[in-house]
Structure 1
Amino acid sequence: MEYNQLKYIVEIVESGSISKAAQVLFLSQPNLSSQVTQLEKEIGRQLFIRGNRGVTLTKEGIEVYHYAKQVVSQFELTKQKLLNHISENKIKIASCGCEVIEPAFFEVCKVFNQMNYEFELEYCNIEQCIEKLGSQEVDVAVIPYTSLQYKKLDQFLINKNLCMQEIFTGELKVHVSEQWELSKKAKINKGDLRGLVHVKKNILFSGMFSLDYEMRQLGMEFCNKSLVTHQIKTYEAALAHLPSFAITPEWHCNLEVNSYLKRIPFAGNPISVTIAVIKRNNEVLRKEVLYFLEQLKRYK
């Protein structure tokens, strides 16, 4: 088995056909087909089902593709770092968009403002945060998880050789703009939300750790009108302009954010949420990252 063969598998899957992949890879189609056949013989598994409309992965092919994708992605990342001379002073943090992250991140930017520093805060869902941390694309990740997600998340992190440390706790609440009548309620029942648009943050409602299961536990599977947002400005504008609501974590911390949005608890048993920092096992964190975590803890 060779690296190029794994790269070929990834390109075929993502191109959708052997002929398209051959063009991208600057190979002849017979040569590429031969390489795939050799790999299938070597590992004793059929990876693709060939058809007139292209190729589809077998069950074994899906497994091989995922492993190949990890190898190729890690190789490309390593090549980029070695050849492009990326600064050692690059600080990159992945987050699911918790409002308390940005103030702490900006404090790091203020203190470590020497020449040749590059700071990046990337927003993505929990699964993507973990994948980026595992492939060393980011220094740490800060994620929220509910009490219902803990067991699955804990096992997922063990398999990735990652560990997490709790920072804040909180619970899921309803976000409502203060201009709507609903915002005057002390507690929300599911019946109060019927007919309203459910505004969803994409990073909280995508991937294997989506809040969809939590919505069912709250009895909100009836919500068939939704607006998925990818930007915080769109999220805030939707809540302001539409008869709508959102479900989002509310943190027990001393930092006030989005004061114009009312945070109303659900009637009945709440679903608890934790925000945690995830890092690689046995890795000593850089001073800039440690300072970032210290700033976060100030808000407790």
Structure 2
Amino acid sequence: MLKSISKGGNKMTLQQLIYLVTAAECGNMTEAAAKLYISQPSLSAAIRNLEEEMGVTAFSRTNKGITVTREGEELLSYARMLLEQSENMKDHFCNSKHQIPKFSVSCQHYSFAVNAFVDVIKTFDADRYNFIMRETQTGEIIDDVANGKSEIGIIFLSEHNEEILSKLIRNNNLIFEELYVAKPHIFIYKHHPLAKKDKITLDDLTQYPYLVYEQGTRNSFYFSEEFISTLDFPKIIQVRDRATLFNLVIGLNGFTVSSGIIDHRLNGPHIIAKPLIADQTMHIGIVKKKNMILSRYAHKYIEALKEHLSIV
């Protein structure tokens, strides 16, 4: 049983890290204390002791609550990583039937990523589990893995974004592992005017709306999920979710550019993929922390990803 650190102590415990992460998630010491079933003064003292030992101020404290500081974000990143490694170690060696399955992944909008996630849940189905899948922006995927919010991320690298994204990945102490190399395709409505063509050129597409996933403050081409520049097209529509994108593909005869990997169960029978004539390749892979011991759920997820990509 882990003991909470006493005032003046100088040995960090995993319990302190749990306190730190819970407080950050709640944004309020009183709420966090209630969630942890301890008194608010005890929680505050434990976190202050941790701050003193690490030499950082993790939170800015006001009457309205707490906010995480910049150095606090870095401390939280390490705390989440240590807690996750602790859970992975217990899961590996104890193999307890009472262990609640937990796994989180952040990814770009790929149907094969969803299918692999379904496989993990089916494999580790239990009375209780906590699985998280975030289909989100490219920059947030890297942030999620770096900050320990997700165990792994799924992105792609290409000739145009590799230098920028690889540097960002390295600077966050992450690594990229390639799983699949795809040629560019477009997704269009099955009754689109171009649907009968065997291959599509960029010139063929200029009169139609180009649908892309919005990337927030990092809305540069380097973070785009589509590896054909929007600068080549006069009509651009940015969206945040898969359903909206495919509804616009159908309703406006729009198109998007991706890997060509499509699942009609998720995307519907009305969307088709057509090869795009372009001298580029899409290197799909996972992002994870360097020297990270992955959970058995992450291993299963990667295995499932490879299976779904191998049948393309």
Q: TM-score range by the shorter chain?
A: 0.5 to 0.7
Contact 1:96 1:203 survives alignment (8 Å) = no
Distance between the aligned counterparts of 2:274 and 2:65, measured in 1?
55
* Aligned equivalent of 1:281: 290
Q: Aligned letter for 1:278? A: V
* Aligned equivalent of 2:17: none
Q: 1:69–1:114: structure 2 CA closer, same or farther, 3 Å change rule?
A: same
SS of structure 2 residue aligned to 1:148: coil
Asked if 1:238 is matched to 2:251, the reply is: no
1:229-273 Cα shifts (integer Å, max 9, x gaps): 22211111111111322122324x9x7774532322333x43100
Q: Aligned letter for 1:70? A: E
Contact 2:212 2:226 survives alignment (8 Å) = no
2:237 corresponds, among 191, 211, 227, to: 227
Distance between the aligned counterparts of 2:216 and 2:157, measured in 1?
10
Paired residues, what number? 238
SS of structure 2 residue aligned to 1:185: coil
SS of structure 1 residue aligned to 2:150: coil
* Aligned equivalent of 2:47: none
Contact 2:226 2:257 survives alignment (8 Å) = no
Asked if 1:70 is matched to 2:79, the reply is: no
Deviation at 1:286, TM superposition (A): 0.9
Asked if 1:123 is matched to 2:135, the reply is: yes
Q: Aligned letter for 2:187? A: H
* Aligned equivalent of 1:272: 281
Structure 2 spans left out of the alignment, 5+ residues: 1-51, 85-98
SS of structure 1 residue aligned to 2:260: strand
What's the RMSD between the two structures over aligned residues?
Answer: 3.5
Distance between the aligned counterparts of 1:193 and 1:250, measured in 2?
16
Distance between the aligned counterparts of 2:126 and 2:260, measured in 1?
35
SS of structure 2 residue aligned to 1:130: helix
* Aligned equivalent of 1:189: 201
* Aligned equivalent of 2:181: 169
SS of structure 2 residue aligned to 1:200: strand
Q: 1:88–1:140: structure 2 CA closer, same or farther, 3 Å change rule?
A: farther
Q: Give runs of aligned pairs for residues 1-300 of structure 1, distance below 5 A.
A: 3-4=56-57, 7-8=59-60, 24=64, 67-68=70-71, 70-71=73-74, 74=77, 89-202=101-214, 207=219, 209-211=222-224, 214-216=227-229, 221-251=231-261, 258=267, 260-267=270-277, 269-299=278-308, 300=310
Contact 2:206 2:234 survives alignment (8 Å) = no
Distance between the aligned counterparts of 1:166 and 1:212, measured in 2?
16
Structure 1 spans left out of the alignment, 5+ residues: 12-21, 27-64, 82-86
Q: 1:298–1:264: structure 2 CA closer, same or farther, 3 Å change rule?
A: same
Q: 1:24–1:207: structure 2 CA closer, same or farther, 3 Å change rule?
A: farther
Distance between the aligned counterparts of 1:186 and 1:206, measured in 2?
35
Deviation at 1:275, TM superposition (A): 1.0
- Normalised TM-score (structure 1): 0.67
Deviation at 1:23, TM superposition (A): 7.2
Q: 1:233–1:280: structure 2 CA closer, same or farther, 3 Å change rule?
A: same
* Aligned equivalent of 1:44: none
SS of structure 2 residue aligned to 1:181: coil
1:90-124 Cα shifts (integer Å, max 9, x gaps): 21111112110111111111111123311111111
